[in-house]
Amino acid sequence: MAETGREPFHFSKTYTWAGYALGFSIGGFFDGILLHQILQWHHLLSGLEGGRFDDLRFQIVADGFFHLFMYVIGATGLWLLWRSRTEFGLPRADRFMAANALIGFGVWHVTDGIVSHWVLRLHWIKMDSDVPLLWDMAWFLVFGVAFIISGWMLRRNGPGSGTSSKVTPAAAAFLTFAMGAASLFPVGQTNGTTTIVVFTPGTSPAQAMATVTGVGGRLIWTDKHDAVWGIDLPENADRWSLYSGGAMLVSNTLLPAGCLDWFKAPGRGA
């Protein structure tokens, strides 16, 4: 169903997820072909040592299964696109597809950075680097955050799914970066630092405040769209219950509060 005038066209979830899946798989192929095969900076399991992990043949086989998984996701995207093929004839449907593909491409690199690099430590971008985290963060920002923001802005300026978002590009960058940084800071420790809580889109300030106060938290600052909150929690607070109250990220931060001043809403702060 499409709307006229300045209202966006409403595409189905099938068509929307087709773009996400295709972009995600292309991101995986980009990673595997460029970094695993051409540059040979790492293999999927290069960070694991001992036994069969020292066998290059085993590493290549693991890369093969990784590419097979990307083929499955890509094929799923093509199947979803075929099911929603009539929507591709709608005005600016190509722009909407491209935007979602960019988002999917970026989500792959964000997911790979968080899961493969920082949580499971399967590999790093450049295994022989003296500062592997520098390469990881650069890749995370350039091919992850930047692509997600580009796709989000392309969707925002073109047709969308009919839902509005109050998250600015700067906020989107912070949210995505925070997801990667979260794996570096344990959820269960406070030690005088600010706990960052990122709420899911659609969570009202009243709901967010109820969630925070429900675990004994105190608001320190929030961004101007009430999407990112800095709170102070007691040491015995049940941080996991924040997720059931609408949070999609809970993380401590070692950054000084002054580094986040630009993100505060006017008139709010400690």
Residue 107 structure tokens:
């989500």
Cα torsion 76, 78, 79, 80: sign = positive
| Angstrom distances, CA of residue 95 to CA of 90, 98, 109 | 10, 5, 22
Domains in the chain: ranges and CATH: 13-164 (no CATH), 178-263 (3.30.70.80)
Tens digits of pLDDT across the chain (270 residues): 444 333 345 789 999 999 999 999 999 999 999 999 999 999 999 999 888 999 999 999 999 999 999 999 999 999 999 999 999 888 889 899 999 999 999 999 999 999 999 999 999 999 998 888 899 999 999 999 999 999 988 887 654 444 444 444 444 444 544 444 444 444 443 344 567 787 776 778 888 888 888 888 888 877 666 777 888 888 777 777 887 787 766 765 433 333 343 344 444 444
